[in-house]
Amino acid sequence: MTESTQENIQKAADALYQAARTGVASTPIRELLAAGDVAGAYAVQSINTDRALSAGRKLVGRKIGLTSVAVQKQLGVDQPDYGMLFADMARGDAEEVALSDVLQPKVEAEIAFVLGRDLSSEHLTVADLFRAIEYAVPAIEIVGSRVAKWDIRITDTIADNASSGLYVLGSRPVRLTDFDPRLCGMVMEKAGEPVSVGAGAACLGSPLNAALWLAKVMARVGKPLLAGDTILSGALGPMVGVAPGDVFDVRIEGLGAVRAVFAKE
């Protein structure tokens, strides 16, 4: 595969950075990268991660994207992707969210895991993951795209921090022993009407599979997951668009509920 030039990787990073800063979405950045250059796309993401850290933002976890096999096929990939979670991306359960905080927002229902131990080995097992997860909570990821009209392919979304925006965690931590991440059902409602339904099995067969994949990858690239980190493990059902004034309620069997409230203007 042809590699992207460092000059074009920097140009792509600059375009996404400016889009985030100005609120004006960029044209797709895949035109700047070699076709299917996933490594180049992560290099773009890394440049803007370093910018964020240099500006004083705090890294508090990771998000996993592309956990649906159907979406993977649509984008021509055979594995998930990941992005960074920063402290300023967190919103409280039922706290009002300004629409201006996310470009082109959409919502997804997920299970979030919070770690009580570091996961620093590349040779992790699911048993290691069980020991490391302190608790789980229901979550709503408010995804966004710095790419105009969500016109994305795999390199666009990876470069754009896996199309991250904000996230909302539920208020009641639950131990892994008290619910089944694979079999739990999920319903997301807007104004009392179901708009997305799914189950844990929709996320790579189980959200734990997604979390283990992430932990191994992060250890391999030298940025291991640490105690206290939050993992957004991937969507349990279809993504839903957001309009001013929308209120979304998510319930996950055995795990509880979480609400995202969007400002009316």
How many CB atoms are closer than 10 A to CB 128? 16
| Predicted local confidence at residue 72, as pLDDT | 72
- Taking 70 as the pLDDT cut, the residues of the chain under it are 1, 70, 74-75
User: All domains of the chain, ordered by start, with CATH?
Assistant: 59-262 (3.90.850.10)
pLDDT in the model for residue 206:
96
Q: What is the pLDDT of residue 20?
A: 96
pLDDT for 221 equals 94
Residue 78 confidence (pLDDT): 75
pLDDT attached to residue 195: 97
User: Which own/partner pairs from 113-117 qualify as long-range (CB within 8 Å, at least 24 positions apart)?
Assistant: 113/207, 113/211, 113/230, 113/231, 113/233, 114/173, 114/228, 114/229, 114/230, 114/231, 115/225, 115/226, 115/227, 115/228, 115/229, 115/230, 115/231, 116/227, 116/228, 117/227
Would you state the pLDDT for residue 231?
98
pLDDT of residue 209: 96
